[in-house]
């Protein structure tokens, strides 16, 4: 790990912290999470699968192991009839993250997200959300985490509740917003303004994650970086969004319509695009650079290497000079074989 320190503050002081998320999407692809509900039942049902993905991200250079408690809150588990598994699922997720983090000196983050239970027009919902965050983060704190990531917040109001609960537990918090709307949170705050408010309330890191790909997150994060004093995070999805379709939810394939969330594959960023993003974010002064839904370990390794790091998985980074057709030995190949490879249609 390039950034070595015992606390989040130490790591931030040492340079860019590299994050890796998108666990739910990746484990869905691997057959361990049901799309639609997206509840991480895998934590209890196939813990080895979770540990393995943590390990792959760790070897690829991630500085933080994020406990897979996204959507592991009371409201979601009730829908699946697994409310009685709530505490075990949350505790186990932190244990798995801790176990793998210890293999490479990574930090461990507890994780909460938007609950879908918050309604700014109904004051009672704030209490419901607070209780859900308090129990999730209370268990995480008991198991041992370095900081909290509260993410994909559509509402500033809900994000502030997560921040307050983290502070009550004495934990630093990284609070990031979902940016599904063009300019404002669902409760009407300009994204830049919302980040300033979160910073003023004591968030250690503020910023954006999910929904937007690199191309449409960078301009917004540049404005946030200019206007907030604290550390800033940017964790885009690994999909090619653009001005016409600024979020993965708005991407459309010709003849197929909506591709979110199950047919996003043709829009996947290459490792090179994510490496370019990592450098661009670093150059803007972003302190916590990562990737969200759509992430694969190959993206994370390319990002780490673009930031100048050698990571455990760098041992197997590409050496295209060794390739029998594309590499140095290619001129010795049968010309017919080379012609077949180089044919243009």
Contact residues toward Zn ion (CB under 5 A) are 210, 292-293
Token pair for 268? 């996947």
By the 8 A CB rule, do 141 and 176 touch? no
Report CA Rg, the chain. Answer: 20
Report the nearest approach of Zn ion to the CB of residue 186 (Å).
17
Which is nearer to Zn ion, 228 or 237 (by Cβ)?
237
Using CA atoms, how far apart are residues 62 and 20, in angstroms rounded to an integer?
6
Report the nearest approach of Zn ion to the CB of residue 293 (Å).
3
Report the nearest approach of Zn ion to the CB of residue 159 (Å).
16
Report the nearest approach of Zn ion to the CB of residue 57 (Å).
14
Length of the chain: 345
Which is nearer to Zn ion, 53 or 293 (by Cβ)?
293
Report the nearest approach of Zn ion to the CB of residue 180 (Å).
11
Residue whose pair of structure tokens reads 């490792």 in the numeric block? 271
Which is nearer to Zn ion, 169 or 251 (by Cβ)?
251
DSSP 200-243: HTT-SEEEEESSS-HHHHHHHHHHHHHH-SSEEEEE--SB---S
Which is nearer to Zn ion, 161 or 293 (by Cβ)?
293
Q: Which of 319, 163, 296 is nearest to 239 (CA)?
A: 296
Report the nearest approach of Zn ion to the CB of residue 335 (Å).
47
Residue whose pair of structure tokens reads 């991630």 in the numeric block? 62
- H helix or E strand, kind and range, residue 151: strand 147-153
Which is nearer to Zn ion, 66 or 173 (by Cβ)?
66
């Amino acid at each position: 790990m390039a950034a070595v320190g015992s606390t989040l503050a130490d790591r931030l002081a040492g340079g860019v912290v590299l994050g890796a998320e998108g666990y739910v999407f990746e484990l869905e692809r691997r057959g361990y999470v049901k799309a639609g509900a997206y509840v991480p039942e895998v934590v209890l049902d196939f813990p080895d699968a979770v540990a393995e993905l943590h390990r792959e991200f760790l070897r690829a250079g991630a500085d933080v192991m994020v406990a897979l408690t996204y959507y592991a809150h009371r409201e979601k588990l009730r829908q699946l009839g697994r409310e009685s598994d709530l505490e075990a699922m949350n505790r186990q997720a932190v244990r798995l993250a801790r176990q793998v983090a210890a293999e490479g000196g990574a930090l461990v983050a507890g994780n909460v997200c938007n609950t879908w239970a918050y309604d700014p027009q109904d004051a009672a919902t704030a209490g419901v959300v607070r209780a859900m965050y308090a129990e999730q983060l209370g268990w995480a704190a008991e198991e041992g985490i370095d900081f909290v990531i509260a993410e994909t917040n559509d509402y500033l109001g809900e994000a502030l509740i997560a921040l307050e609960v983290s502070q009550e537990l004495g934990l630093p918090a990284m609070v990031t917003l979902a940016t599904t709307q063009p300019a404002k949170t669902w409760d009407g705050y300009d994204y830049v303004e919302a980040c300033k408010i979160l910073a003023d309330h004591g968030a250690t890191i503020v910023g954006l994650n999910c929904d937007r790909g690199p191309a449409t997150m960078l301009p917004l994060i540049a404005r946030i970086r200019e206007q907030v004093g604290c550390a800033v995070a940017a964790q885009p999805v690994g999909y090619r969004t653009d001005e016409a379709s600024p979020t993965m939810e708005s991407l459309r394939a010709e003849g197929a319509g909506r591709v979110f969330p199950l047919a996003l594959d043709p829009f996947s960023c290459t490792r090179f695009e994510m490496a370019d993003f990592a450098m661009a974010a670093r150059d803007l002064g972003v302190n916590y650079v990562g990737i969200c839904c759509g992430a694969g370990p190959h993206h994370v390794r390319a990002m780490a290497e673009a930031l100048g790091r050698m990571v455990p998985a760098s041992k197997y980074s590409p050496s295209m000079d060794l390739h029998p057709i594309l590499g140095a030995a290619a001129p010795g190949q049968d010309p017919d074989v080379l012609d077949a490879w180089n044919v243009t249609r």
